[in-house]
């Protein structure tokens, strides 16, 4: 019986957090090659990997290079074998929740950008092939609902939740655009984690943030609600001809 490789024994884990940029770049290149061929990776190894990736970004200075690295880290999702994607995403969100409060103010922007990229790439992965793979969509919904939008998990900082909610519809728009008007069933499925959080969130302010997501005008447009309201408004303005 085949066993999962021990990722923790791979030297690039340590090298990802090196203070030397060429060493980090080489480690990331080696990691891409490694990940491409792995049908499964143990959850603990993925957490170790994400600790290395977290500090890989931590060590990167200069905004342009930080954004490039954040995009590169998010692009890892596209090269993973199907069975690794959901565990990889869970490890990402677990790491962000664990480390969020330790991020210094001067370093926060690059992690905000990384989270945005991962929200987008998660949607992109779920929508690959025209949103026809229900297993992918449900997998992403599960990861988000059990991760940053898990209302019962007190270990997830509200700051992380706020940011995920803040970028949610923006990234749906970037990935789907007007396509959502013909994919309303998928759209509603992707909004389930937000809806559940709006009902069950412990913090009133974060529940309010979730409610604001659900009241976004773009969602109304994609659902066709805006057109109905516009027609109703026109009818009210016309009012007919009085006798």
**pLDDT on residue 8:** 58
**23 or 225, greater pLDDT:** 23
Condensed to tens digits (0 to 9), the pLDDT of residues 101-119 reads 999 999 999 999 999 999 9
- Tell me the average pLDDT across 54-66: 95
165-168 LR contacts (CB < 8 Å, sep 24+): 165/194, 165/197, 165/206, 165/209, 165/210, 165/212, 165/213, 166/209, 167/115, 167/116, 167/119, 167/120, 168/119, 168/194, 168/213
pLDDT value of position 176? 93
* Mean per-residue pLDDT of the chain: 90
- Which sequence spans correspond to the domains of the chain? 127-230
Q: What are phi and psi of 191, to 5 degrees?
A: -90, -5
**Integer Cα distance of 108 and 197 in angstroms:** 24
d(CA 216, CA 214): 6
Residue 242 has pLDDT above 60, yes or no: no
Is-contact 200 152, C-beta < 8 A? Answer: yes
Torsion over CA: 182, 183, 185, 187 (sign): negative
94: confidence class by pLDDT, cuts 50, 70, 90: very high
Q: Is pLDDT above 50 for 243?
A: no
Name the pLDDT band for 14 (thresholds 50, 70, 90): confident
For 99, the token pair is 């480390």
Q: What is the pLDDT of residue 234?
A: 52
Q: Any residues with CB less than 8 A from the CB of 238 and at least 6 apart, and which?
A: none
pLDDT at 26 over 60: yes
Tens-digit pLDDT profile for residues 157-166? 999 999 999 9
Read off φ and ψ for residue 153, nearest 5 degrees.
-90, 105
Q: What is the largest CA-CA distance in the chain?
A: 87
Q: Residue 162: CB partners within 8 Å, gap ≥ 6? A: 206, 209
């Amino acid at each position: 019986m085949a066993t999962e490789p021990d990722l923790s024994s791979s030297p690039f884990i340590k090298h990802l957090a090196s203070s030397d940029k060429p060493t980090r770049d080489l480690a990331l290149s080696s990691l891409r090659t490694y990940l491409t061929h792995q049908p499964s990776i143990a959850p603990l190894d993925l957490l170790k990997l994400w600790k290395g990736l977290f500090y890989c970004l931590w060590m990167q200075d200069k905004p342009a290079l930080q954004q490039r690295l954040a995009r590169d880290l998010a692009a890892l999702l596209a090269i993973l074998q199907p069975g690794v994607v959901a565990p990889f995403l869970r490890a990402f969100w677990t790491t962000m929740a664990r480390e969020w409060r330790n991020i210094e103010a001067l370093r926060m922007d690059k992690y905000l950008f990384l989270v945005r990229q991962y929200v987008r790439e998660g949607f992109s992965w779920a929508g690959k092939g025209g949103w026809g793979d229900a297993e992918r969509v449900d997998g992403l919904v599960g990861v988000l609902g059990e991760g940053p939008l898990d209302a019962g998990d007190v270990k997830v900082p509200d700051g992380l939740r706020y940011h995920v909610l803040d970028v949610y519809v923006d990234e749906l728009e970037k990935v789907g655009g007007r396509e959502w008007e013909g994919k309303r069933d998928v759209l509603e499925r992707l909004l389930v984690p937000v809806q559940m959080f709006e009902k069950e969130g412990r913090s009133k302010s974060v529940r309010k943030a979730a409610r604001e997501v659900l009241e976004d005008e773009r969602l109304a447009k994609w659902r066709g609600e805006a057109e109905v309201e516009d027609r109703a408004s026109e009818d009210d303005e016309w009012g007919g001809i009085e006798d």
